[in-house]
A and B are shown apart, each in its own frame.
Chain A
Amino acid sequence: MSRQTSRLDAKKVNSELLTLTYGALVSQMLKEIDNTDDVNKQLERIGYNMGVRLIEDFLARTGSNRCLEMRETADKIQQAFRLYLNMQPTVTSWSSAGDEFSLVWDQCPLSEWVEMPNNGLKYCGLIPGAIRGALQMVQLDVQCWFIQDQLKGDAVTELRVKYIKRLEDAVPAGED
């Protein structure tokens, strides 16, 4: 069985393939949808749907348990970035209440070789969507948005994650 897991881990693809595929997706969406805001919304939605599935893969691979506080969650998100995008964002700028933090990175495989038209597009909009979707499946309601973006001329890309509430266990069906 251990051989099987190592084969699973070894299934790596060149990140250029991902970069270009994602680029093709975004440019196609820009062609088909006139309004950039709608493109942003769609990217977020695609990300959300990916996150909902990705979390199961993440849990199965890492055997993680439930997080008891946001710092643990931040570590896990960092781990997921390493696992799926081979990048190591830094976790910084904790709010004093400990319910808000930033993920900062200066290189992301998704946005390599990208030059941005100045039209309000959030090119990496998939990532916050995926984080929100994945965390929702482990009963954490969060908000995710970019406050700095390299593609818009900032020095680094900064993604803010804010904890909103813990979603409660569902009651068994038939009790409503």
Chain B
Amino acid sequence: MTIYNMYIFDRYGTLLYYGEWNRTKQSGMSREEEGKLMFGMLFSIKSFVTKISPLDPKEGFISYKTSKYTIHHLETPSGLKFALNTDNQAQGMRELLKKIYSDIYVKYVIRNPLCGIGEPIISELFKTKLDLFIKQAPLSAARAS
């Protein structure tokens, strides 16, 4: 399985972080524009899913799939949105996203007083840890499946 890229948004739609690993085709617009488009779509899908659901939605919007890729979505109660783009074989990405939130984001951004809340993350430490985490992830997921 392959992890292509990841977006982290805060609840106001600010693109806090963008990470890219195996992306071969770019969208052809600036990162900022792409972020807005992405957030807008996640926001719309979320409200669509909640409105259209015939039952009380518990987890809400979790992922969507096209013929080429799957976007996995995790929203925390504090409104942070994590969107991870992988190939269609990827499994257990929700757990992975939760780990990114609790083990990487909270540890290296929230506990780092130099990282402002609601500002794009420029911490090198965060980037290094995230890259390392993503590199190690496929192995563990492959073993689990």
- Residues of A whose CB lies within 8 Å of any CB of B are 1, 4, 52-53, 55-57, 59-61, 63-66, 137-139, 169-174
Given A4-B103, A57-B106, A172-B36, the answer on whether A64 and B77 have CB atoms closer than 8 Å is yes
User: Could you give, for residues 95-121 of chain B, a 1 whenever the CB lies within 8 Å of some chain A CB and a 0 otherwise?
Assistant: 000110111011000110000010000
User: Which residue of chain A has its CB nearest to the CB of B36?
Assistant: A174
B13 at the interface (CB under 8 A from A): yes
User: Main SS of the interface on chain A?
Assistant: loop
Instruction: Say yes or no for B19: interface residue by CB 8 A criterion.
Output: no
- Partner pick for B39 among A57, A59, A65, A173, CB 8 A cutoff: A173
B40 touching A170, Cβ below 8 Å: no
B residues lining the A interface (CB < 8 Å): 11-14, 36, 39-40, 43, 76-80, 98-99, 101-103, 105-106, 110-111, 117
Report whether B117 and A59 are in contact in the complex, using a CB–CB cutoff of 8 Å.
no
Indicate if the CB atoms of B40 and A172 lie closer than 8 Å: yes
Cβ contact within 8 Å between A57 and B111? yes
Nearest chain B residue, comparing its CB with the CB of A66: B77
A residues in contact with B110, CB < 8 Å: 53, 56-57
Given contacts A57-B110, A59-B76, A138-B77, contact A169 B11 (CB under 8 A): yes
Cα distance A170–B111 when bound, in Å?
25
Closest 9 CB pairs of A and B: A60-B102, A173-B13, A60-B106, A56-B110, A172-B40, A137-B78, A66-B77, A172-B43, A170-B12
- Minimum CB–CB distance from B39 to chain A (whole Å) comes to 5
Instruction: Select from chain B the residue with minimum beta-carbon distance to A54.
Output: B110
Note all chain A residues with C-beta closer than 8 A to B106: 56-57, 60
Within 8 Å CB of B11, what residues of A?
169-170
Contacts of B78 in A (CB 8 A): 55-56, 59, 137-138
A138–B117 Cα distance when bound, in Å, is: 14
In the complex, A137→B80 CA distance in Å?
Answer: 10
Chain A residues, Cβ within 8 Å of B40: 172, 174
Residue numbers in B under 8 Å from A174 (CB-CB): 36, 40
Which of B39, B80, B102 makes the CB contact (< 8 A) with A172? B39
Nearest A-chain residue to B78, judged by Cβ? A137
- Nearest chain B residue, comparing its CB with the CB of A64: B77
**Once bound together, how far apart are the Cα atoms of A57 and B80, in whole Å?**
13
| Residue contact A170 to B103, C-beta cutoff 8 Å | no
* A172 close to B13 (CB less than 8 A): yes
Q: Do residues B117 and A52 form an inter-chain contact, with CB atoms below 8 A? A: yes
With a CB–CB cut-off of 8 A, which chain B residues contact A170? Answer: 11-13, 79
Known interface pairs A53-B117, A169-B11, A170-B13; A137-B102 also in contact (CB < 8 Å): no
Given A52-B117, A172-B40, is A139 in contact with B111 using a C-beta cutoff of 8 Å? no
